[in-house]
Amino acid sequence: MEETTLISPTDIELFMRGVHYELYNLLGAHQKEGGVHFALWAKNAAQVYLAGDFNQWQEKSLPMHRNEAGIWDIFVPGVAEGSQYKYVIETKEGHLLWKADPFAFYSQLRPETASVVANVDGYEWAPFEHNKEGPISIYEVHIGSWKKGLGYRDAAHELAKYCIDLGFTHIELMPITEYPLDASWGYQVSGYFAPTARYGTVRDFQYFVDHMHKNGIGVILDWVPSHFPTDGFSLAQFDGTPLFEYSHPLMGFHPQWNTYIFDYASPRVCNFLLASALFWFDKYHIDGLRIDAVESIIMRDFAKQDFIPNIHGGRENLEAMNFLKHLNAAVKERYPKAIMCAEDSSYHAGITHQEGLNFDYKWALGWMTDTFNFFQTPFEHRDLSRITCIFDYIFTERFIVPLSHDEVVHEKRSLLEKMPGDEGQKLAGLRMLFAWMFCSPGRPLLFMGAEIAQKGEWNFSESLDWERANHQIQKCLRDLNKIYCSGLFESDFDAGMKWEIGDYFTLRRGGYVALFNFTTNAYSVEIPEGAFTTDSPDYGGMGRAGLPPLTTIIYDEKRISKPA
């Protein structure tokens, strides 16, 4: 076949520098007039061949052409959308590796692993203006287990309606980038440019985002640039050498997760990840990314007994931190209304500071730990100072306060079952937990199932227990979302917040007053008429006067009338 390259010197120069921000328009499989252009990066391969259903999977009938950047490409006439393919990489030792395309826009449904020629252009998007500065209340969802059997389109219809009903402004999807193992929940990615085929096609997921936007719901994707699986068909040892991962095992391997670590010192590897992030904004119109496992990215000693220090002898991965700064700068320059969130459990300062890593938000994992430690404590042993310690750090970053999926798995119990006491006290505790989340400084995030008072832990292979959904708890959450979105959110980052500790806990922020009675005692307190109370019969409470046991009362001093 005649050698034809569509890769320009400018493309090569940008890629070598690690700043080809639309690399997804160059590498991968792209439909052209009369056929498809295929290109991949495999700089250490001796030869690369293309194989697919269009050549009966012959391993060496379509040799590809190499340029000085280590990019191999070929134009194949007659190949159509939907064609399946892989690259056959001949290593310098003469071994043949059958690899999926790292830039594939679509893949076969697992357990099959071939890449699929797909078109991500041409979707007619409805206009949507994402309000980054407005209220942000996030519903975290795993599509496959929210309701079993839903594809992207059906899930879009049901989730949009559900989020509107409960008052959530954003939905955060656990990873939908293609992945081989269901039990990884999507956190071991094989396709950084492909929505998983589990729930539908490219067009189906574009429809999902578009439909959420038509209903005013922002879409945040969980994105995993921290590590990748060891599966032989994917990125691991891609050209027979550590191409995407660090070459030194102390740098390039996660012993805790049995996965490889991206080589953040390589401009080309960083370019791959930058392009992936930008791709989802460009081609799928998402509104934000939640970056998973940031501590594992920025700390060289994460979950390791032995590690290689940086050039200053420290534990920080300096090139990885530069990558994250570059990522946030690139996204914000092109999509200024995007939301960039860091799931980070490190003590590194400045995650959300412009002179630091420049994320918009950091998950408050310390808040989550301190909150659960307090709420799970038996009533008679509760010490309010153990929860007010949260306010020592809650304004050091711009936080998301999460009640996330991580806390309802691995025998940690559901949120309801974490609460002490009898069934009524557990439900009262859950209502208070929701109120605590909304009243804590930061943007609230709730994982699916908590809002229906699910008793069992989350199981990725099973649907939520909708038949036993507690609609009173749902109503409590709905009304808390109304309070939050109608004005409470405006003081999320106001360090002028005040609190008082007595028999009960009083929190004042932005004109709102919240009273938290974490005890089983009742207190005689004058409550303004019309105040929100978690003890309302509408929510499963008893409607008692004053400040009843295990109750939160919230009111806006600016809007509510005092009793005569």
User: Which residues carry out catalysis?
Assistant: 292, 343
Q: d(Cα 203, Cα 31) in Å, to the nearest integer? A: 16
Contact between residue 234 and residue 100 where contact means Cβ atoms under 8 Å apart? yes
Question: Which tokens sit at 107?
Answer: 């893949």
Helix (H) or strand (E) holding 128: none
- CA–CA gap between residue 455 and residue 230 (Å, rounded): 35
Residues 503 and 522: their CA atoms lie apart, in Å, by: 10
Structural tokens at position 6: 């569509």
Burial (0-12, 13-18, 19+ Cβ within 10 Å), 355: exposed
Contact between residue 368 and residue 402 where contact means Cβ atoms under 8 Å apart: yes
Token digits of residue 479: 């009304």
Helix (H, G, I), strand (E, B) or coil at 283: helix
**Does residue 78 contact residue 88 with C-beta atoms inside 8 Å?**
no
Task: Tell me the C-alpha to C-alpha distance, in Å, between residue 57 and each of 3, 78, 87, 235.
Answer: 20, 15, 10, 21
Q: Which amino acid is at 425?
A: Q
Q: Three-state SS for 451? A: helix
Neighbours of 494 (CB within 10 A): 11
> In a 3-state reduction of DSSP, which class is residue 288?
strand
Burial of 526 (0-12, 13-18, 19+ CB in 10 A): exposed
What is the 3 state secondary structure string of 229-263? CCCCCCCCCCCCCCCCECCCHHHHEECCCCEECEC
Distance of alpha carbon 474 from alpha carbon 468, whole angstroms: 12
Full DSSP string of 55-68: GTT-TTSSBPEE-T
Query: Contact, 358 vs 307, CB < 8 A?
Result: no
Measured CA to CA, the distance from residue 44 to residue 482 in angstroms comes to 57
Task: Identify whether the C-beta of residue 492 lies closer than 8 Å to the C-beta of residue 444.
Answer: no
